[in-house]
Amino acid sequence: MSDGTFHAIDRGREQTFGPRAILICGYDAGAAPALSDLLQRIGADGCALRFACVSVLTMPLEKALSAQSEEPPIEADKLPRVMVLSGMTGGEIHDFLDGFSDTILPRPIFASATHNNLAFETRGLLAELLREHRAMMQSRQK
């Protein structure tokens, strides 16, 4: 699914892959005001916040990022904390990551939508991101 490597994102103005949205997993809807405020501060307030709900788990990531569901978000403790950033410029992504600590929200696994992962089933992508994160944390402990 993934080669487990990280690729640098240029701080430029070129838009990255996918719909202009953030898929949010492992947080309840109460995180929305802090994230919306951060997006507004970095000038990316047109970026939609999409909280993971049951139906998006079986969708390809691209569709999950576009889905406007009336379903409630999955309970925060039922999913790993992950945010998939999509359709933002490289500069916006860097600014979002740099400013995230100001939100006082627990830090998630951050990922960016790519040409390859937009077609992945969302549930499978989340599992892969969690595996990669655990492997990275284990290698840091050695």
Can you give the pLDDT at residue 55? 95
3-state SS class at 98: helix
pLDDT at 138: 86
**The one-letter amino acid at 72:** P
The pLDDT of residue 140: 82
What pLDDT is stored for residue 87 in this prediction? 95
| pLDDT of amino acid 7 | 55
Q: How far is CA 98 from each of CA 42, 73, 92, 121, 123, rounded to the nearest angstrom?
A: 10, 26, 10, 29, 27
Do residues 76 and 26 make contact, with C-beta atoms less than 8 angstroms apart? Answer: yes
User: Against a cut of 0.95, is the pTM above it?
Assistant: no
Q: DSSP assignment of 10-37, as one string?
A: --SS-B-SSSSEEEEES--GGGHHHHHH
Query: What pLDDT is stored for residue 2 in this prediction?
Result: 43
pLDDT at residue 125, as a whole number: 96
pLDDT < 50 regions, the chain? 1-5
- Residue 123: the pLDDT is 97
CB 19 within 8 A of CB 48: yes
- In the three-class reduction of DSSP (H, G, I as helix; E, B as strand; rest coil), residue 100 is classed as helix
Q: What is the pLDDT of residue 120?
A: 95
Pairwise CA distance, residues 20 & 119, whole Å: 16
